[in-house]
Structure 1
Amino acid sequence: MPFRPRTAATGAVLAAAVVLPAPAAAAAAPGWSAAPTGTARTSFYLEGPPGTALTDRLDVRNPSLRPVTVRLAGDGGDGSGAWLAFGSPEVTVPPRTRAGVPFTVAVPRTAVPGSHLGTLTVTGTGPGAPTRIPVRLRVTGPTLSALTVEQVSVTRRGSAVVIHYTLVNRGNTALRPRLAVRADGLFGALLRRPAHTLPDVLPPGARVDRTETWPDPPALDPVDIRLTATAAGGAHDTATASYAAVPWAAGAAALLTLLAAGGGCWVLVRRRRRTGGAGRTDGAPGSAVPGPRQEAPMPGRRTAEPGTPESGATDPGMPDDTTTGSTAVTRTGSGVHG
C-alpha cells in the first residue's frame, strides 16, 4: 500500500537491504528485478492535493553473485513524470540482496486536479531488461472545464472555402472537443454541419490549430460563419467570421453601375411621359397630335368668316364694325358699340 502524503521530499535514498538466500548455482541465478513494494502490486497509486509530497517505495532484487547498479527515472506525457524525485538517480544493490528504494512525487501547487499518469523506469547494468512501472496519481481539488474558439478566418481555395480556427483548453481537465459549423447568407441557411467529435485530446492549457473545409459555398452571397465548440463538463464557446465570394470593392462598383443605369432609365421614362402629356389634343384624351393654332385677335380689328370678302362687306347680324381674319371675335376696349 502507498505511504501517506508527506510535506517534504525525501532527501536521500534509504535503501533497506535484505539478504536473499544463496542460489544453488550462480549460473542458474536470474537477473535483477524491480517492482512496487508490497504484495501483488503492478503499479503505484498516489493521491493528494496540490502542493504536497507523496512517497512510495520500490523494491529492487539482485539474486546474483555480483552487485547490480540500477538507474531510476520518471517520465510522463502530461509532465507528471518530472514530479518524481529520487535521493540518487543510481542505486547499487549488493549480491543476493533486496533493496527498498523510496521515491517522492512532489505535486506542484499549480497542478491540475484530476488523474495523471507517469512512469518510473528502472534500467540496470547487469542482466535484465529495463522495467517500466506505471505511476497513477490523482490530484484532488475542484475541476473546471473551459474551452475557447479563437482566431477564426476564412480563405478561398479553388472552388472551396477553408475555415481556420484555434481551440484552447482554458480549464484544468483534459478535453475532447466537439465542433458544429453553421453558415447563413442573405436569404437564409447555407450550411448546417452538426457537432462532430474532433480527434484531438487537449490537456489543460493546450491549444490546437484546425481547419474545416466547405466544398460548395455560394458564388455571390455575403456569408456569416459560426463555429460552436463543446466538451464534457459544460465547456462551450462560439466564434463567428464573415465571408463574401466577391470582393467588396468589385461588388460596390457593380452595384453603383446598376444603380446608375436604373436611374438613367427612370429619368428617360419620366421625360417621355411629360412630353406626351404636354401636347395639345384634337379632342381625344391622351392624344399628342397638335391641333390647328389659333391666333389671338388684335384690338380694333375684326376677322371675317371663310369665304367672306376681307373689305367692304357688312355682317347684318353684327355691330357695324369692320372684320378681318378667319374667325369672328368681338373687340374689346373703348371703341366697342352696343
Structure 2
Amino acid sequence: MRAVLLTGFGGPEKLEYRDDVPDPQAGPGEVRVKVGATALNNTDIWTREGAYGSPGDPGATAGWRREPLHFPRIQGADVAGQIDQVGPGVPESRIGQRVLVDPTIYQGGERELAVTDLLGSERDGGFAELVTVPAENAHPVDGPLSDAELATFPTAYTTAMRMLNRAAVRQGETLVVTGASGGVGSALIQLANVRGAHVVAVAGKGKHRQARELGAAATVERDAADLAAAVEAAAPGREIDVVADVVAGPSFPALIAILRPLGRYVVAGAIAGPLVETDLRTVYLKQLQIVGSSFGTHEDFAKLLEHIRAGQLKPLLAASYPLAELRAAQEQFVAKGFFGKLVVTPASA
C-alpha cells in the first residue's frame, strides 16, 4: 500500500512517502479500514519533533507518553473510511461499513487514558491507504458529510469535550478560549455553545469573523498588548469563569489573572511554550483550579457522534492534500494561516 513513514524524530525530512508498504492485516477483534481521509493534529508535529520532553528534562526528545517511540511509524489519528476486512471474532457483516475511528486505544476507566495507545503514535495510523484498529474503535456513521469532513472531528473535538468536562463548564458561564482558530479552539467554541456558555475567543488577525460565525460572543486579538484588559473590554460586566487554553507561553500569567475567584483554568496544549511562570499567590488567594487535560475518553467520542448525527457541529475543513504531499500539509499546519482543519486523502495520492 501507499503510506507515509515517520523514520525518526526530526523535521519534515523524516516523512518518507512509499508505495511498497505491506498491507496491514486485521488481527483478532480488529477491523481494517480503507482510509478515505485523515486529519492533521498538533500531536503529529510534536510527535515528529519528539517535543514532549520528560519529567526530569523538558528538552528531552520523546513521544507524548514521554518515552521512546518505535520507528518507522505511520502517523495520523483521525480516520474516516470504510471497513474492508475483519479479523477473527468480528462479524463479516461489518465489511463495507462506513466508519469514523476513535483514536484512543485503551480499556478500562478514564485513568487508563493517561497511558493509552494513540493511533498514529504508539500504533500505526491513517496516513496510509489502510489501517487496522480494534473493532469497537470503528464507529458506523452515515449522513451527508464527506470522509474529509468527518475526519476533522475525532481528536480536536474529543479533546475539547474533555476540557469542558474537566472544567465542569455549565450553561451561562463565561469561557475564554485561546487558539480559537485551530482545531481544538474552534471545537471548544462550538461545543461550549451547545452547553449554553458565553465564549470569548482569542484569535489572530483575520480570524475573528470565523470565530464569531461559529458562536463566539466576542473576540480578542491574540497579540493584544494587555490581554487581560482586552478580555475585560470584550466581555463588559461578565466575570470569567473558565479559561480553556491550548497556547500557554507568555500569555499564561494574564490568563490566570483574568479568572474570577474560584475560577477554573484547563489546559490541553502549549503551542507558545510549555514552560510558564505565574504568581502562585494569585492562584491560592483566589482559590483557583488548574486542571490538566488531554485526549478524550471513549464516552466523549460517543457523545461527539451524537452531536454530529444531530447536526449540532460544523466541520471546518480548511484544505485537503494528497497523501504524497503530507510534508507540505504539515508545513501549512505549522504556519497556522488557516481556520479549522487540514486533511490528507490517499485516493488522490
**TM-score relative to the length of structure 1:** 0.21
Select the structure with the greater relative contact order (CA < 8 A; seq sep ≥ 6): 2
Which protein has the bigger strand share? 1
Which protein has the bigger helix share? 2
Structure label with greater radius of gyration? 1
